[in-house]
Structure 1
């Protein structure tokens, strides 16, 4: 639930569709290669269809078509108006096969690195946030007024954020909802070109399109209108994920996770438990977080600069002082402690879940569960306990084929299944 409608609030970047090669921001040779590879894959096509596939205007495709036709690469098989149908000649097939050995990419045409950099810089969020708007953005969570007043200023600054505290108190749930504070959408290119290499950026697994695939109106169709990204990485994070990923078979690069998160949020969940050590991760990002630029390297050693315009949220249940030195912690200016639940917050979470799930509950159930959790748990109340215990009760009821009703006996049974017991010496 964003606090504004992203479909009606496109950030300050509206590129016009290029209609000539002079207006295009990538080399003509890149377009020629795309047309060759696409036609090789499809067998035959026409200018209009190729334009739709490559997200390029009819005039641009027609111009490159004429050039390749003069080189006897294309053979015309038909014509409707000024829309030629054509296929590859034998020489064209040989050329396409050679170009396919370099790269197999034949998707939407990329934008230039220069255009991408300008877009990211133009779409840096301008957060106009108040206590009431933040409360609305986190309305499906039970959070205290004090917590809102701590995290609110951190979100306005859009600098990096450390969420730390005991496990099970909602750090990840809070982090993934921070994207809701943005009231606009952004444009993300399908791919970026640099030095003749293509880097695929748009990833439907992490980028949420808001225009149902209809592009961005009358603008450049090489850009996709998306919500500002919120990408979560956990224990699977490896140092290689922070670099360009070259697919040796296709010759195509995939953008690193921080590049995909530009103009949005990147959540490092369970920080300190990744494959990559905290020290290596922090050393990799100490310059980007300070200077707001990153440096990536192509497989043959050429380095280039990209924007690092994102909010990095580190969520951890470890002591930040054990994870990073003072120099790095200084660069993470905002550190917010997510404390264990107060009794009234715990009860509010329980009551809200019971209401949302439409469950019947004996009077005093919240208080009884609270007592059980303090006795059997760590001595602290955690926000995860109510939903975890209630899910166990629902499973028990399904197993016993009876309606779900929260009783003291069910709470005690579920708690005994949820909390571990101390074991005595094990027999040999």
Structure 2
């Protein structure tokens, strides 16, 4: 279930990331996204400059006071993420004239310090509004403003080079043949299909490439679409990055010089798996909250969306691809609101379909043509397996032993006719450490510990 934006949680997330404040980003250092810190738009100086109409803002302020009770006008500014002069001030005065809001006390020397509350008529009006429009939180930005901001900060996928690919993958062992296929696929910025046996790094490769973006972008807390509010910011997927101006506003309060309806985040990387339903791809009106929540592909705009374990979702592959035929080609995602209004949302996201199944068993040739790149992440060769094993020894704090690796490969792979998988070294060594710790043995590679790890890891299929 969706929840309303929590400003205190966002404040805490910004504080946690304090050390990253205004760090310069160098695209040459294996970072594929736009390296510039986004420029936050200036604060609106009037209601008109917010892109929202007077009635919308009056209703939003009334709903907030209905939920929160008495607040100072300064607190209203913080909650709505709007400045006082020309915006909150004018909204407050309009409600006061209509006798929907009254002053309860506060600092007579400062209008911002006045405590206000709804009158009985205001309470009745707010309750009626909440029954049809339940959103309470930071004021949204208009859809057109969101589209323009997204267009101003595109992902520069064309910057992907062989060098940046290798830097991004780091210690992930990928064959040269696979690397030569992955590079152009990521460079295109278009959809791709990664397939192959489980445990060979499809998800890890995607995560490393997404991490290489490391760019920052602006997103709104919410978007206004045809008079309706779509909650956009999701702390589960979006990582806020503080800026000096934002921190000053948080610490000192008052009217911000910037439009704080926008928040700077790291470019998103979303993974959805078997829980995905067709309904998750549409603007969803939460009946208990009475406002819309953004679908996963909208939250992933400007970044990467990975459909993990494709073919095992609660939506069929055919239905999923039918739903995304137009977005994948046109970069526009059409939604129809209950009012009948059709809206076109941007679809600026790199979609990665990942599966352990054969693509031809999931969809027909016509659908596969919609996905530009089909790349098999195959089983590692023996040489690759040995490289992975050696790397994993260092990661778990074990001294590498060539003789013990020879024993593992000969006894438990060749003699058992067992295929290599990229994930095996990490898992086997982790279990070996667990067994050694439990039995009180020295943590090192031995035949006995390797045999025990294998016995508890592999099962006959």
TM-score normalized by structure 2?
0.86
Find out whether 1:89 has 2:119 as its counterpart: yes
Quote the residue 2:70 is aligned against. 44
1:335 aligns with 2:366: no
Question: In the superposition, relative to structure 1, how do residues 297 and 140 fare at CA in structure 2: closer, same or farther (>3 Å)?
Answer: farther
Deviation at 1:189, TM superposition (A): 0.7
Change in Cα spacing, 1:240 to 1:125, as seen in structure 2 (3 Å) is same
Tell me the CA shift for residue 363 of structure 1: 3.7
Deviations 1:267-293 (A, max 9, x none): 011111111111111111111101110
1:140 aligns with 2:171: yes
Deviation at 1:297, TM superposition (A): 2.4
Deviations, residues 35-91 of structure 1 (Å, cap 9, x unaligned):
111111221112211111110011210011111110011111233323232111111
Residue 10 (str. 1) matches residue 37 (str. 2): yes
Match of 2:434 among 389, 392, 395: 395
Matches within 5 A, 1:128-277: 128-211=159-242, 215=246, 218-277=257-316
Deviation per residue, 1:207-264 (Å, 9 max, x gap): 1112279749853211110111110011111111111222111101111001101111
Partner of 2:347: 308
Determine helix, strand or coil for the equivalent of 2:104.
strand
What SS does structure 2 have at the residue aligned with 1:266?
strand
Of residues 364, 368, 371, the one that matches 1:325 is 364
CA contact (8 A) 1:215 1:223 kept: no
Change (3 A) 1:66 1:376: farther
Taking structure 1 as the reference length, the TM-score comes to: 0.92
Is 1:80 the counterpart of 2:109? The answer is: yes
Equivalent residue number for residue 68 of structure 1: 95
Deviation at 1:330, TM superposition (A): 1.4
Q: Across the two proteins, how many residue pairs are aligned to each other?
A: 421
Q: 1:121 to 1:346 in 2, by over 3 A?
A: same
What's 2:9 paired with? none
Change (3 A) 1:34 1:227: same
Instruction: Please state how far the C-alpha of 1:14 moved relative to its aligned partner.
Output: 4.0
Question: How does 1:341-352 map onto structure 2 within 5 Å?
Answer: 341-352=380-391
2:50 corresponds in structure 1 to: 24
Deviation for aligned residue 1:418: 1.5
1:425 alignment counterpart: none
Matches of 1:310 and 1:377 in 2, distance apart?
43
- Contact map agreement 1:370 1:381 (CA 8 A) in 2: no
Deviates most, 126-135 or 62-71: 126-135
- Segment drifting more, 323-332 vs 346-355: 323-332
Q: Secondary structure at the match of 2:47?
A: coil
Is residue 124 of structure 2 the alignment partner of residue 98 of structure 1? no
Indicate the larger mover: 352-361 or 195-204: 352-361
Gaps of 5+ in 2: 1-24, 249-256
**Residue 8 and residue 328 in structure 1: after superposition, are their counterparts in 2 closer, same or farther (change >3 A)?**
closer
RMSD: 2.3
Cα displacement string for residues 357-390 of structure 1 (whole angstroms, at most 9, x for unaligned residues): 2124544222222234534776321101111111
Q: CA deviation at 1:120?
A: 2.0
CA distance in 1, matches of 2:200, 2:286: 40
Note closer, same or farther for the CA distance 1:47–1:154 as it changes in structure 2 (3 Å cut): same
Query: Shift of residue 6 of structure 1?
Result: 8.2
Q: Does structure 2 retain, via aligned residues, the 8 Å contact 1:289–1:331? A: yes
SS of 1:405's partner is coil
Distance 2:30 2:258 in 1: 26
Residue 294 (str. 1) matches residue 325 (str. 2): no
Unaligned runs of 5+ in 1: 423-428
